[in-house]
Each structure stands twice: as structure tokens, then as C-alpha cells.
Amino acid sequence: MNIKKKTSLSPAEEQLSPRVERLRTLANSAAVGAELMGIVVHVDLDAVDENRYVKVRQRIAGELDKFPCPFALALAAWETEAWLMQFPRAFSKVNAGWTLKDRYRGCDLQKIHDPKRALREHSWRPPYEDADAPRIMEKAFEEGVLMEPEGRNRSYQDFIGELSSW
């Protein structure tokens, strides 16, 4: 089940525990009559450096460890677009005219400053919009490439590692 209630974690350093407790309540409510098998939490951390990423990841993971089930933390160190750019073929599956520029292939995509802007600089018609992200990820899933990205992104690798341990 996908719970789409927004609970902001990233700006909540001092109030993290009550917000994670809210997630636990939502998850347990959604699992009434069923066993809670796992939880995935997504947080975009815009413009974060490596040290802050590690600190925030450890803090949120420490809170999620209190759940009675496994968790996977999708903590995009910049934005989700830096994850999407690891799967260039998925873009052209969503729109045949969307070809990712070569300079974004095979590199450390976590280090790209403002990947959403980088995608909009491609001058695609129609242009990339936030609403395209789920379809791009679905195409990457259909292609079976989610476990074999063409680029690197530490936050994605951390997420897949946690998810794979289930």
C-alpha cells in the first residue's frame, strides 16, 4: 500500500522523532488486518553535501530502526532527478525525443548541482516536468535496469542496499 500523506522530515532535525512516530502510526493504520512487511520513506534533501547527507541519513535511519519491520530510506541527496538520470534509456521510453546528454552518462550524478535544472536545459519538447518522474522510474523498472544504473549515486546505492536486504 502506498501512503501519500506528506510528512516533512528534512527540515525537522529537532522534531524528527514525533514525525517518524506519525509515519509509524500511518503505516500501522494502513496495515490493519495485515502484517507490516516493510516501509520505504522518501526524502529529497536539496543541495546537501556529503557530510550532511551522512549525518541526516544516520539520524533518520536511527529513528526508522524503531519500526517493527525493515525499512529502506530513499534519501535523495539532491533531488530525485539525480536518481532518474542513472537510467537514460527510461527517458526515451517516456518520450522518444528525450535523449540524455552524454556528459551525464556514467558519472557521479549525486554531484550534479540542481539536476532538475540540468534536465530542463535539454530543450526537450515537451520539456521535462516533475510529474514525469514516476513514469520514468516505471520505465526503468520495466526495462529491468533499476539494479544496474548507468551512472553512480550514493544515495540511490544506499537505498537499493537497504531494499535488497529485505
* C-alpha cell recorded at residue 146: 533499476
Span 69-125, pLDDT tens digits: 899 998 876 778 999 999 999 999 999 999 999 999 888 888 888 899 999 999 999
39-44/71-76 β-pairing? parallel
Pairwise pLDDT comparison (11 vs 121), residue with the higher score: 121
Outline where DSSP puts E strands in the chain. 39-44, 71-76
Enumerate the β-bridge partners of residue 110: none
Under 8 Å between Cβ of 79 and 116 = yes
Distance CA 81, CA 78 (A): 8
Q: Give mean pLDDT, residues 17-29.
A: 80
Whether residue 10 is predicted with pLDDT greater than 80 in this model: the reply is no
Q: Which residues have a Cβ under 8 Å from the Cβ of 13 and sit 6 or more positions away?
A: 56, 59
pLDDT bucket at 37, cuts 50 / 70 / 90: confident
Helix or strand or coil: residue 42? strand
Cβ-Cβ contacts under 8 Å for 115 (sequence gap 6 or more): 78, 79, 81, 82, 85, 109
Q: How far apart are CA 159 and CA 110, in angstroms?
A: 13
Q: CB–CB of 9/41 below 8 Å?
A: yes
**What's the pTM value of the predicted model, to 2 decimals?**
0.78
